[in-house]
């Protein structure tokens, strides 16, 4: 017998998911492996989407509660797209992440989520630093690239047609990367703006699996866009 064969069968997770998610379809799995074939996380930690569903169906709850593979899964839902039975593996992964106590989640992931709640971005830089970096990079471009002398990077522009969020890594460690999309917007004449708060578009609270933290950060970002009166949100993430 294998080590997995010796694990106690519980099947509590299966019942819990079926009660919470009426369309769980756990027993519909054909074990065809199409979900695993397109999964970027297949093979990491000895796990893949097909195995996760089989372990769930067979009651290997302890294994599923303790695998760190769930943090390699980005919940991209490619597995669900490939699945002929429409099984939403990503939703099960999300639920498993949420069951893990905060102190047992990957420290960097949980810290990024906490920073995203306060001060509002995953790297923890002050909002005034973000505003300064945007202005500094724009000034540098104006001085070194005359062809972009009239390009702008608006901040808190009320009524702009488009609102642009930003990955916090770029203003923190590679600010020059931000200018590429500014140039595209300028070239096509897009009316856009940043916000000086809640500007980070990378939502690490989604990947920690905590719905309250996820809802809070998304709501604060949405409120910021609504307050500026921007009808279209551009999420580069």
Summarize pLDDT for 132-165 with one digit per residue, the tens. 999 999 999 999 999 999 999 999 999 999 999 9
pLDDT confidence band for 1 (50 / 70 / 90): very low
Give residue 22's pLDDT: 84
Mean pLDDT (whole number) for 12-29 = 92
CATH number for the segment(s) 4-100: 1.10.1060.10
Q: What is the pLDDT of residue 8?
A: 55
Is the bond preceding 119 in cis, omega lying within 30 degrees of 0? yes
Residue 2 confidence (pLDDT) above 80: no
Query: What residue ranges do the domains of the chain occupy?
Result: 4-100, 123-234
Q: Can you give the pLDDT at residue 202?
A: 85
Model pLDDT for residues 76-124, shown as the tens digit of each residue: 999 999 999 999 999 999 999 999 999 999 999 999 999 999 999 999 9
**HEC secondary structure over 89-150:** HHHHHHHHHHHCCHHHCCHHHHHHHHHHHCCCCCCCCCHHHHHHHHHHHHHHHHHHCHHHCC
Average pLDDT over residues 216-232: 96
Mean of per-residue pLDDT scores for the chain? 93
Helix, strand, or coil here: 229? coil
Residue located via tokens 């070194």:
144
CA 82/CA 205 separation, integer angstroms: 26
More confident residue, 202 or 147: 147
Q: How many residues does the chain have?
A: 237
Which of 115-119, 208-212, 223-227 bottoms out in mean pLDDT, i.e. has the lowest?
A: 208-212
The reported pLDDT for the residue numbered 9 is 61
Of 9-13, 37-41, 65-69, minimum mean pLDDT range: 9-13
Q: How far is the C-alpha of 19 from the C-alpha of 42, rounded, in Å?
A: 28
Q: How is residue 209 written in tokens?
A: 């699996």
Q: What is the DSSP letter of 31?
A: -
Which residue is associated with the tokens 């490939």? 82
pLDDT at residue 213, as a whole number: 92
Give the bridge partners for 177, in sequence order. Answer: none
> How far is residue 221 CA from its own chain's centroid?
14
DSSP secondary-structure letter at 70?
A: G
- 56-73 burial, b at 16+ Cβ within 10 Å, e below that, comes to beebbbebbeebebbbbb
pLDDT category at 6 given cuts 50, 70, 90 is very low
Based on C-alpha coordinates, what's the Rg of the chain?
Answer: 22
Q: pTM above 0.85?
A: no
């Amino acid at each position: 017998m294998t080590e997995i064969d010796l694990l106690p069968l519980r099947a509590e997770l299966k019942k819990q998911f079926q009660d919470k998610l009426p369309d769980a379809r756990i027993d519909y799995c054909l074990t065809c492996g199409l979900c695993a074939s397109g999964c970027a996380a297949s093979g990491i930690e000895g796990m893949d989407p097909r195995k996760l569903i089989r372990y769930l169906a067979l009651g290997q709850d302890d294994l599923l509660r303790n695998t760190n593979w769930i943090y390699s899964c980005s919940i991209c839902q490619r597995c669900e797209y490939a699945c002929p039975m429409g099984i939403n593996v990503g939703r099960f992964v999300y639920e498993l992440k949420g069951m893990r106590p905060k102190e047992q989640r990957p420290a960097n992931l949980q810290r990024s989520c906490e920073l995203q709640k306060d001060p509002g971005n995953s790297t923890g830089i002050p909002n005034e630093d973000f505003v300064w970096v945007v202005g500094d990079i724009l000034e540098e471009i104006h001085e070194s690239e005359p062809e972009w002398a009239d390009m702008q990077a608006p901040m808190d522009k009320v009524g702009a047609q488009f609102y642009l969020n930003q990955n916090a890594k770029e203003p923190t460690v590679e600010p020059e990367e931000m200018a590429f999309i500014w140039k595209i917007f300028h070239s096509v004449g897009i009316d856009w703006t940043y916000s000086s708060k809640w500007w980070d578009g990378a939502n690490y609270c989604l990947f920690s699996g905590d719905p309250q933290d996820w809802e809070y950060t998304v709501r604060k970002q949405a409120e910021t866009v609504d307050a500026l009166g921007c009808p279209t949100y551009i999420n580069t993430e």
